[in-house]
Structure 1
């Protein structure tokens, strides 16, 4: 199980760094405008569909995290929620799986 746990952490780090590189590059080229970045997410039907896909996945992940934390009392799992909304599902989901897979004490 330790190998799988390491994989979740590696994916969470990759999910934080790789997308953020593109977000920051875009913002640097556009006067650090968050508004322009958000506008770019809706530039055509393809990006709009992807934006909604990720939004629905983020909401679903949030509900799952809250439901499991309420039962398991694994409070550290709540860190996945800000990771999901501040970075993305590509970070939040593997981070939650990493936090969830810690040894039970």
Structure 2
């Protein structure tokens, strides 16, 4: 190794890859293999945890997202199935005290 290469190697800094703590809704959708609008709907329904910093800035904590997806997997649901189930629960007609 030449002297110049040794000096250069001495001053090089290795940069470690760091995983972000939070991701955008669009990135969370990519991780879930879902569209952005479906991801926003899952956030609104409480399926996907999110932090809203302003009206135009919503982030999804990765650890909370992983935990929620693991909880869904334990009961045998994919993210899409959880969204469909949430939609079905909301659209069921309410029975108003009538015995059928």
**TM bin (shorter chain):** under 0.3
* Larger helix percent: 1
Could you tell me the TM-score, scaled by structure 2's length? 0.24
Q: Which has the higher contact order (CA 8 A, sep 6+)?
A: 1
Larger Rg: 2
Could you tell me the TM-score, scaled by structure 1's length? 0.24
* Larger strand percent: 2
